[in-house]
Amino acid sequence: MTVPTLSAEQIAAFERDGAICLRGIVGADWLERLWRAGERALKAQPKTPEMAYFRRIRLWEQDADFRDFCTGSSLPSVAARLLRTDKVNLFYDQFFAKEPSFAKTDWHNDQPYWPVRGWPVMSFWVALDRIDATTGAMELIRGSHKWDRWFQPYYVDATGAHGDEWKKKQATFEPLPDFEAERDRHVMLRWDMEPGDAIAFHALTVHSALPNTSKDRRRWAYVIRYCGRDARYYDGEVMNTDITNPALKNGDPLDSAQYPVVYRAG
């Protein structure tokens, strides 16, 4: 996969806004492999959409096409340039299939859910279908990654309601504001996307995804999370225990079989 050219303006926009859209970064051959891998992931996961939606994770560890993309595409080198780091670890991957009539994904930032601390943590949200406001486009609050605000993670039950189970255990995060009511206070970033486009965004950027209100159009997206050299493992209580790593201790570099190094400068 040819390493795309990133302009100084794109890198500056990522650092300023917390998110940029990279057009056509994933080519047709990779897309074909990701579509096939996505079909396999859907067949292997629980049938209840609400339960499976957020749990299709760490797929690269079971599927060669996902593994080859996470480790052998240009994305690790792009992550290195966006994060200004000389080493990149694969953190984990995730497949989102938002089918017709699927509900909105509420506002949140990602890093409070994860066992990692430090600044150089980001995601690539790769569109596998044409995506617009009717099928569940992402919305991101420009500059929110610089707020240094860690918002309360939440469970979503089968009805889409926020659960309180984890909230009762953890009181160190800030309550989630009503960002829908605050829309006039922020600049919301949203892009219509073609297959192969990707949104690169920081792990503290506040974001949501619109509902899929179409009657016959799916919205598939594949998301890969990467970390730079200065990221460290966090061995405290975290909500997403499916991505914790028993081989690491608090403050350790991420280098491990679960979080492999996928890029080194030079």
* Local confidence pLDDT in tens for the 266 residues of the chain: 556 779 999 999 999 999 999 999 999 999 999 999 999 998 876 655 555 677 789 999 999 999 999 999 999 999 999 999 999 999 999 999 998 988 888 999 999 999 999 999 999 999 999 999 999 999 999 999 999 999 999 877 655 566 666 666 676 899 999 999 999 999 999 999 999 999 999 999 999 999 999 999 999 999 999 999 999 999 998 988 999 999 999 999 999 999 999 999 98
Q: Are 53 and 97 in contact (CB under 8 A)?
A: yes
Q: What is the DSSP letter of 147?
A: S
- Residues contacting 95, CB < 8 A, separation 6+: 38, 41, 56, 57, 59, 220, 221, 222, 223
The 10 Å Cβ neighbour count of residue 43 is: 8
Kindly report the backbone phi and psi dihedral angles of residue 16, in degrees, each rounded to the nearest multiple of 5, phi listed first. -80, -45
Q: Report pTM.
A: 0.94
- The encoded tokens of residue 246 equal 């028993």
Rg of the chain over CA atoms, in angstroms? 17
Q: What are the DSSP calls for 18-71, one per residue?
A: SEEEETT-S-HHHHHHHHHHHHHHHHHS-S-HHHHTTT-B-GGGT-HHHHHHHH
Pairing of strands 219-228, 116-117: unpaired
Q: Are 83 and 72 in contact (CB under 8 A)?
A: no
Q: What are the DSSP calls for 169-200, one per residue?
A: T--SSBPPP-TTTTGGGSPEE---B-TT-EEE
- The encoded tokens of residue 223 equal 């998301």
Q: Where are the domains of the chain?
A: 8-230
* CA nearest to 88, candidates 125, 122, 126: 122
Burial of 241 from C-beta contacts in 10 A (0-12 / 13-18 / 19+) = exposed
Q: Are 266 and 137 in contact (CB under 8 A)?
A: no
Kindly report the backbone phi and psi dihedral angles of residue 137, in degrees, each rounded to the nearest multiple of 5, phi listed first. -60, 150
Output the pLDDT for position 32: 97
Output the pLDDT for position 46: 61
Beta bridge pairs of residue 139: 208
Burial of 14 from C-beta contacts in 10 A (0-12 / 13-18 / 19+) = buried
Output the pLDDT for position 86: 98
Q: Which fold has domain 8-230?
A: Jelly Rolls (2.60.120)
